[in-house]
Amino acid sequence: MKKTFIVITLLSIVWLSSCGGSAKSEKNTGTSIAATAVSDNATTNREVPTETGTISSNENVVQLTKAMFLEKVYNYEKSPDKWAFIGDKPCIIDFYADWCRPCKMVAPIMEELSSKYKGQITIYKVNTDQEQELAQFFGIRSIPTVFFCPATGDPQMAQGALPKETYEKAITELLLVKK
């Protein structure tokens, strides 16, 4: 009885730290990093359109469309069965929705990280409501979901709103590792 209560409590915490039900799964690449709840710093992200996408007005977080994703990150139409990163530097991809409160908590963290690691990594955002095909291809079931894509090797995935320190640890251990 006690174990059942603990399991239900832990599942509730994970569920509360993410917004569920974004898209049905077809394919899932990457490995999960444990999700935990974080601070309550909800802010909205203003965006500025550019020729190659949308950049957050505060920093260099780039809003990805499917076409940009296929060109800058991974062309899954040409290579659907094997991950083949085509970017010029490691990246983070934040799958989010405008209505998702935990996503709004992650947005300022991503902006801070884009400033701190400028020139070393690229941070992208994918709106799962607008880019449903991308969300479906990667099996995004809850948001926020963040992919850490190293220059070589497979991407790693984290779900839920995580502390900034967790993202920084993933950046240093997964993305900025010299091989």
Burial annotation 66-76 (CB, 10 A radius, 16+ → b, else e): bebbbebbbeb
Q: Per the residue annotation, which of 19, 91, 103, 149 is the catalytic one?
A: 103
**Residue 103: active-site member:** yes
Q: Per the residue annotation, which of 19, 91, 100, 149 is the catalytic one?
A: 100
Distance from C-alpha of 106 to C-alpha of 162, rounded to nearest angstrom: 7
**Residue 91: active-site member:** no
Q: Please name the residues in contact with 161: beta carbons below 8 A apart, sequence gap of 6 or more.
A: 17, 18, 35, 37, 38, 102, 103, 105, 106, 144
Residue 92: closest CA among 17, 170, 153: 170
Question: What are the residue numbers of the active site?
Answer: 100, 103
